[in-house]
Structure 1
């Protein structure tokens, strides 16, 4: 029985230079499958494969893999050999062409994985002599350029080791996230925001823009200027509840989407799915989450971080020793993560001081003053809602000392009241909404705390 393969005689026959690589992998797999099953290939296979291999070599010489230069330093690129490119192509093939995955797995049933094992790699690349195999192993050691730079991962134990593409290789060559499923232990935030909606002092806004620039240019800085590679970046947003810490993360995700031209996701850590009372489970869950985020255009946001990364204390028993080890592990793991992470806290003093030097940015969010509260009311009231003429936003900003989050709640509440009455948003609606916000606390609230608005508050009469 003959196994037909698509004829390839020139670069023009295939839509892109990387498609040449996958066509070559297809033929390599076809040859291995034919040898395993005892079938014969068609008479022109040998000539077509030789022509295709020549086209692949020409495409590589013309720069088909130069996309790696966007993420990898020139020194590493210069050290890559033609065999390194072959190995990366084989590892990347099941991701680039999912139909290859079951074919690769069927060729190595003893491994039960779609990632090519060393035995199959040796067969596909037709390596026979001891010198050829030794050269292959030398390119896969932990210090070899393509492994040390994260382009390729070697998994498993000898002799059942497999090759898997690193997140950076998938991102740069295929332009896609390494994983499609949501990361375990995190929830996707679909909210979006813009700089004009973020009411903060200019120095704080400048710090946030600098964090966005750091995320955008961190790889280019290493590539073009030889800067020291820094993981993250890692930022700490501290301030009272409702001062805009979480919304700032939303704005940064939106801004990065605009500036890079590719979507950036914002994931919020779900502590209930990460923290565990069982020894080692919290670290395991955190590792799985951060591993899943590697190579993605994603920001990880961790609210109430002081509860996760609290101060380490004196050791008096085994429980204290484990708690300190857990915090230390988290500190080191966040520092190694390649993507941006934003931790927020209402109580900066509760965060272990050892963390502070590891943050690339620490931003203190202030409580809004009268001017900021006026701007917040202007931004947070529905833009198309009719406002009563007597509603003076400047006077309103000075009347009640609310946080930005409280103003957001009150603005929505007041708009709902006015819409239900089919009228303009007026002072009675605002007064009722602010009073509802203030009385959420258990403390006794006095009408004088909302200034002139108490005149319009029916519940106090």
Structure 2
């Protein structure tokens, strides 16, 4: 079946095409309800339903399902039949029109679910002969175009199997996330960032932009070039603490929102809600999290990944065997996930080499040099805050070797001190803030370690 983009002549008709699908389904449910209860239908029901069916056929021929072409290859689209479109409409109905959900559930009380079961599908589509039912089952096998491409999911066991829309179908036809609730085991990050706030070497920035291009164009490559389904990317951000790995993820989420014209969420994995001491629970929790993220405009970020996916060791007892199985499961599950995943690590050497080979991108975040530190001070000090004339950012960058994260803390602390003092950020405030950052460690810090700022530190003590 050819599914093509609509022409301008049919644009007005197609704007309400899916509404016609739902109106037809409404009448199909009304007929089923009347058969259950014995209620009488309107005198013009038959004529109205026939007219709706004709309109649905016309809009389908004009391209009402052409949204599928944005995410599904042309080879798959050519294999779809009119009955396949009926099946997709039935599966989509509880999502597209939530009011349909309780009606469908009440019509199949033996299942207790709003997803249409095979028996209900047979009834609505008026399939009676053995050949018609065999043809229906053939369209729902694991290797059929609908199921193999992820458009439909078949859940349950015979004879209580149900049809559920895949994330691909929901995204393509409804242009929204499959789920509204936050994924289990992850927390939403509300921070956003811009490229000019990210102070990194050109090669690192180039790799980050390539990450965004991968996510933006992965479906178009499948559609236009016939490429195999492109997942991910799965990326590892490696570097010392405070070099900008986590902030880079926020920049990418912001960038993807601007590129696609749709908001992108950034979720951080909550290890406390995923990891479990009970055998099999960690894998179960991870599967639930990644399943919930399928089809969403979302990036999953996993910090301290070396602790989650450490090197597999020799097996000496059952505990070691399970630990290795757990890591192996995570390797395979992340690789199968269709959406972007970012893992960050301070200790790249601790990550299992077998996992490193599965990354599409490995991005190194170097420790900032003098020039980068000066640029970070410029970016991280409040843009509207007045600076004393003797504050020279180039000299400040060379004075103390701080990471980007430490500079962010010191810049905020210096601004607080200045706002409560003179209203102008001066060297004594900066010296005090840097000293506070350095003395977080248990080691003894000497004033000489902050260079010329040591003279201003004495003013504040």
What is the TM-score with the length of structure 2 in the denominator? 0.96
Once the two structures are overlaid, the 10-residue window that deviates more, 12-21 or 22-31, is 12-21
Using the TM superposition, name which of 363-372 and 444-453 deviates more: 444-453
Query: Which residue in 1 is equivalent to 2:454?
Result: 454
**Which residue does the alignment assign to 1:188?**
188
Q: Which residue of 2 aligns with 1:32?
A: 32
How far 1:422 moved relative to its partner? 3.6
Superposition deviation, residue 444 in structure 1: 1.2
CA distance in 1, matches of 2:223, 2:12: 32
Q: CA deviation at 1:446?
A: 1.2
1:396 corresponding residue in structure 2: 396
Contact 2:177 2:297 in 1 (8 A): yes
Match in the other structure for 2:68: 68
Structure 2 counterpart of 1:281: 281
The residue aligned with 1:148 is 148
Q: Which moved more, 1:422-431 or 1:57-66?
A: 422-431
Q: Which residue of 2 aligns with 1:221?
A: 221
CA deviation after TM superposition for structure 1 residue 190, in Å: 0.4
Partner of 2:442: 442
- SS of the residue corresponding to residue 457 of structure 1 reads helix
| Residue 113 (structure 1) shift | 0.1
Give, in angstroms, the shift of residue 423 of structure 1. 2.2
Taking a change above 3 Å as real, the CA distance of residues 226 and 324 of structure 1, as seen in their structure-2 partners, is: same
Deviation at 1:13, TM superposition (A): 9.7
Instruction: Return the alpha-carbon distance in structure 2 between the equivalents of residues 362 and 422 of structure 1.
Output: 46
Number of the residue aligned with 2:113: 113
Q: CA deviation at 1:230?
A: 2.6
Residue 306 of structure 2 is aligned to residue 306 of structure 1? yes
Distance 2:272 2:189 in 1: 17
Within 5 Å, give how 1:28-427 maps onto structure 2.
28-427=28-427
Q: Do the aligned residues in 2 keep the contact of 1:22 with 1:93 (CA within 8 Å)?
A: yes
- CA spacing shift, 1:355–1:109, aligned 2, 3 Å: same
- 3-state DSSP of counterpart to 2:363: strand
Once the two structures are superposed, residues 126-172 of structure 1 have per-residue CA deviations (whole angstroms, 9 ceiling, x without a partner) of: 00000000000000000000100000000000000000000010011
How many Å separate the matches in 2 of 1:115 and 1:460?
68
Residue 8 of structure 2: aligned partner: none
* Cα-to-partner distance string for 1:405-438 (whole Å, 9 max, x where unaligned): 0000000000000001142100000000000001
* Bigger mean CA deviation after superposition, 48-57 or 415-424: 415-424
Query: Which secondary structure does the structure 2 equivalent of 1:193 belong to?
Result: coil
Q: Give secondary structure in 2 for the equivalent of 1:310.
A: coil
Output one character per residue of 1:174-205: Cα deviation in whole Å (capped at 9) or x when no partner: 01110000000000000000000000001100
| Distance across 2 between alignment mates of 1:27 and 1:227 | 40
| Secondary structure class of the residue paired with 2:188 | strand
Contact 1:447–1:460 (CA<8 Å) still a contact in 2?
no
CA distance in 2, matches of 1:13, 1:420: 64
How far apart are 1:459 and its partner, in Å? 8.2
Q: In the aligned structure 2, how far is the partner of 1:267 from the partner of 1:230?
A: 21
Aligned length: 451
Q: Distance in 2 between matches of 1:153 and 1:393?
A: 58
Q: Matched residues in 2 for 1:13 and 1:411: separation? A: 58
Q: Distance in 2 between matches of 1:310 and 1:246?
A: 20
Judge conservation of contact 2:185–2:270 (CA < 8 Å) in 1: yes
Q: In structure 2, list runs of 5 or more residues that go unmatched.
A: 1-10
Matched, 1:432 2:432: yes
Q: Please say if residues 428 and 459 of structure 2, whose CA atoms lie closer than 8 Å, have aligned partners that are also in contact.
A: no
Measure, in 2, the Cα distance between the counterparts of 1:334 and 1:314. 23
Q: How far 1:227 moved relative to its partner?
A: 1.9
Give the 3 Å change call, closer, same or farther, for CA 442–459 of structure 1 in structure 2: farther
Determine helix, strand or coil for the equivalent of 1:236: strand
Deviates more, 1:342-351 or 1:40-49: 40-49
Q: How many angstroms does 1:12 deviate by?
A: 8.2
1:329-348 residue CA offsets vs partner (Å, 9 max, x unmatched): 00000000000000000000
* RMSD of equivalent CA atoms: 1.3
Tell me, which stretches of 5 or more residues in structure 1 are unaligned?
Answer: 1-10
The alignment partner of 1:40 has SS state of: coil
